[in-house]
Amino acid sequence: MAMQKRSNIRLPPEVNRILYVRNLPYKITGEELYDIFGKYGAIRQIRLGTNSDTKGTAFVVYEDIFDAKNACEHLSGFNVCNRYLVVLYYQSNKAFTKMDKDKKRSELDRMKEKYGVSTEN
């Protein structure tokens, strides 16, 4: 019965099973994240940022989209070690757009150098 109710609910298009978490304490472990996010449903995977650019961020992948929605609603603004979590739905199109811009910029610079074009006045 509960599953039947869930299948009739329309979710906004940005809702998905993958959550992007920012503003994490640098010393937090994957196990601690499982404790925090596991209260809202079965977790498939947690990926913690390890290098200087991604430290303090994580991706949390849930088995069920409704569990991810529930976690996002309840944990956004949650206080962990005096830091308030920012929990967002992962949007792949935004991530790839930035990569595409960087790739196009480097390609443009390479072409300018190849043909000796200067944009400086």
**pLDDT tens-digit series, residues 30-85:** 999 999 999 999 999 999 999 988 899 999 999 999 999 999 999 999 999 999 99
Mean pLDDT of the chain: 86
**Cα–Cα distance, 34 to 76 (Å, whole number):** 16
pLDDT band at 98 (very low <50, low <70, confident <90, very high): low
pLDDT band at 94 (very low <50, low <70, confident <90, very high): low
pLDDT at 7 > cutoff 70: no
Tell me the three state secondary structure of residue 67: helix
Q: Given this model, what pLDDT does residue 113 score?
A: 85
Cα–Cα–Cα angle for 44, 15, 31, rounded to 5 degrees = 30
pLDDT at 1 > cutoff 50: no
Alpha helices (H) in 1-91, listed in sequence order: 2-7, 30-37, 65-75
pLDDT at 121 > cutoff 70: no
78 vs 5 pLDDT, higher one:
78
**Cα–Cα distance, 38 to 41 (Å, whole number):** 5
**Cα–Cα distance, 64 to 26 (Å, whole number):** 28
| pTM as predicted | 0.71
Q: Token pair for residue 19?
A: 């959550």
